[in-house]
């Protein structure tokens, strides 16, 4: 078996969490979650509906983000993905600014509906390929989208897990904390702790993140790579060596 890229490991791990869902939506700048959704669709026999913003082939939306928001409000999206320049231990994400707002040192594009979707979509998966104490912080500088809400707030949606290039954290909504679920090949419980700025729970023996089997890799490197290249040709070329022009 050829060496497994970290992106392939994460694609398989995310896809496993999408089994049994009806409709998965993927926003912009999300090639790994997008590929994971396509893998889950391949495994489902096309029973899973996948909507990738920016795609012409892999969405039924005709009105872009506005239709995505309408579907979420109607309870017709089961899973979505969010990232952030910062993510903290209560699953708050920062997409706005670093430093004292409004006179911030660094400004980012902003929320673009992330808070709205975070409150409405029942399975939100946080994702980053930059697992470090700079990104996973004790407390975000600016709460663009809160991970938890008070009991009197109507909130059917919220975080389920945080997947990074080092590990997988599950999120406990009742305790408002992450728990280390598994570590990727080449990582350990100690290395994850070293590179994580927020506190979290961990079992005595931390599991290893399952690597994709041969059948999954065949799907990832075949139809999934070809499909995700339509939206992210550079990603497909870098990870899979896929030539979109072919």
Cα–Cα distance measured from residue 15 to residue 38, given in angstroms and rounded to the nearest whole number: 8
Query: 241 vs 36, which has greater pLDDT?
Result: 36
CB-side neighbour CA atoms (13 Å) of 104: 13
Convert the pLDDT of each residue in 96-118 to its tens digit: 999 987 888 899 888 888 999 99
Cα–Cα distance measured from residue 135 to residue 94, given in angstroms and rounded to the nearest whole number: 9
Cα–Cα distance measured from residue 93 to residue 78, given in angstroms and rounded to the nearest whole number: 20
Global pTM?
0.95
DSSP-derived pairing of the beta strands 93-94 and 86-88: antiparallel
Cβ 67 vs Cβ 61: under 8 Å: yes
Q: How far, in whole angstroms, is CA 194 from its chain's centroid? A: 22
Convert the pLDDT of each residue in 150-206 to its tens digit: 989 999 999 999 999 999 999 999 999 999 999 999 999 999 999 999 999 999 999
Residue carrying structure tokens 């409150």:
119
Reduced DSSP (H G I as helix, E B as strand, rest coil) percent helix, strand, coil of the chain, to 5: 30, 20, 50
Beta strands in the chain (DSSP E): 23-26, 49-52, 79-82, 86-88, 93-94, 97-98, 106-107, 123-128, 136-137, 159-164, 167-172, 177-183, 207-208
Cβ 61 vs Cβ 55: under 8 Å: no
Cβ 81 vs Cβ 75: under 8 Å: no
Closest C-alpha to 12, from 229, 233, 219? 219
Torsion (CA) 57, 60, 61, 67 in degrees, nearest 10? -150
Backbone angles phi, psi at 104, to 5 degrees: -85, 155
DSSP character at residue 140 = -
Check whether 244 has a pLDDT greater than 60.
Answer: no
Convert the pLDDT of each residue in 126-148 to its tens digit: 999 999 999 999 999 999 999 99
The CA–CA distances, whole Å, from 175 to 59, 126, 147, 171 equal 36, 18, 12, 9
């Amino acid at each position: 078996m050829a060496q497994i890229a970290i992106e392939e490991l994460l694609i398989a791990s995310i896809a496993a969490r999408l089994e049994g869902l009806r409709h998965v939506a993927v926003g912009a700048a999300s090639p790994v979650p997008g590929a994971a959704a396509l893998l889950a669709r391949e495994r489902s026999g096309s029973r899973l509906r996948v909507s990738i913003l920016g795609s012409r082939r892999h969405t039924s939306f005709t009105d872009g983000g506005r239709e995505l928001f309408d579907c979420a409000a109607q309870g017709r999206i089961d899973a979505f993905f969010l990232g952030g320049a910062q993510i903290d231990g209560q699953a708050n994400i920062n997409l706005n600014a670093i430093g004292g707002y409004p006179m911030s040192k660094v400004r980012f594009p902003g929320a673009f509906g992330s808070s709205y979707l975070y409150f409405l979509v029942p399975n939100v998966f946080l994702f980053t390929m930059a697992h470090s104490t700079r990104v996973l912080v004790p407390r975000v500088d600016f709460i663009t989208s809160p991970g938890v809400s008070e009991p009197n707030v109507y909130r059917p949606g919220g975080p389920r897990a945080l997947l990074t290039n080092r590990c997988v954290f599950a999120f406990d909504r009742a305790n408002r904390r992450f728990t280390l679920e598994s570590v990727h090949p080449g990582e350990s419980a100690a290395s994850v702790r070293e590179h994580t700025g927020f506190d979290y729970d961990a079992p005595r023996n931390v599991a290893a993140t399952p690597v994709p089997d041969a059948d999954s890799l065949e799907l990832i490197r075949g139809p999934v790579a070809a499909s995700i290249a339509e939206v992210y040709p550079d990603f497909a070329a870098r990870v899979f060596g896929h030539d979109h022009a072919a």
